[in-house]
Amino acid sequence: MSQNQTDFGFQKVDESLKASKVAQVFDSVASRYDIMNDLMSGGLHRLWKLFALSRVGARKGMKVLDIASGTGDLARSMSGSVGSTGEVWATDINLSMLKVGRDRLLDEGCVVPLAVCDAEALPYPDQYFDRVTVAFGLRNMTHKDQALAEMYRVLRPGGKLVVLEFSRINKALEPAYDWYSFNVLPWLGKKVADDEASYRYLAESIRMHPDQETLKSMMASVGFGRTEYFNLTAGLVAVHEGVRLG
C-alpha cells in the first residue's frame, strides 16, 4: 500500500484503494441509479443536464468523449447532435454502470462506442476530440488534476471541456441542505436501492469536492483557457467549462 491518503467521503483511505471502493458504490447502485436521481433531485438533474448540453454545443461531425457516462443521458443526446459523421464515445471506469447505460441506449435505438477506462489514463490519442464532457463523475476521481490534464490532452486546439458537478450551495441554504443530504438521502437509498451506506458516501463526496473557484483554478492550472462556471439551483450544482487554446 502507498503512504498517500485520499478522501473517500469523510474517510481517509489509501489512494490505491479509492477506485475499488468507489466501484463498490456504483456496482451497488447501478440498477436503481436513474430512479434515485429523479427522487433525490426532484427531476432537476434533467434540467441541469440540458443546460450542460447547451454549453457543449455538439454539432454535426464532431468527435465527443463522454467520461463517467454512467447510464448515458449526455451520450444519447450528443449522439443525435453529431450525426452519422461524428463520434460520441461513452466511457466509464465502472462496468456495471456502463452496462446499464449500454442497455438503455440500445433500447432507445442509439448505438455508440463504449469503453471501460480510467479518466486518469485515457486510451485515446492526443488532440482527438472536439468536446469532452463529464457529468457527476469528477468528484469520484482520485487524482482530479491528473484527470483534468488527460481531458486537456485529448482535446484538439479550440476544443472544449464541460464539467457538470455538485458544488457549493448558497450559504443561507446550507443548514437545510445538510439536513436533507444526511437524513433524507440515506433514507431514500435504504428504501429504494436497499443501500443506505452508498448514498451517505455520495452526500459526503459532494462536501469534499472542490468549490467553484477551486475547480476553475484547477482547470486553468492544467492549461485550459477561457475558464468559467455557471451556478445552477443556488450553487447546488455548477457547470464549469474551459477551452484548449493551443
In tens, the pLDDT along 14-37 reads 887 777 877 777 777 777 878 888
Determine whether the annotation assigns residue 92 to a binding site: yes
Which among 190, 187, 232, 182 is positioned nearest to 212, based on CA atoms? 232
Domain positions in the chain are: 5-171+200-244
Q: Which of 12-16, 53-57, 104-108, 176-180 has the lowest mean pLDDT?
A: 12-16
**What average pLDDT does this structure show over 84-99?**
94
Decide: helix, strand or coil at residue 86: coil
CATH topology of domain 5-171+200-244: Rossmann fold (3.40.50)
**Residues 52, 164: contact at Cβ < 8 Å?**
yes
**Residues 70, 33: contact at Cβ < 8 Å?**
yes
Query: What is the value of pTM for the model shown?
Result: 0.92
- pLDDT computed for residue 189 by the predictor: 85
User: How far apart are alpha carbons 102 and 85 in whole angstroms?
Assistant: 21
Summarised one tens digit per residue, pLDDT across range 136-166 is 999 999 999 999 999 999 999 999 999 999 9
pLDDT of 89 strictly over 90: yes
**What average pLDDT does this structure show over 29-58?**
90
- pLDDT computed for residue 3 by the predictor: 61
User: How far apart are alpha carbons 160 and 151 in whole angstroms?
Assistant: 9
Determine whether the annotation assigns residue 71 to a binding site: yes
pLDDT of 7 strictly over 90: no
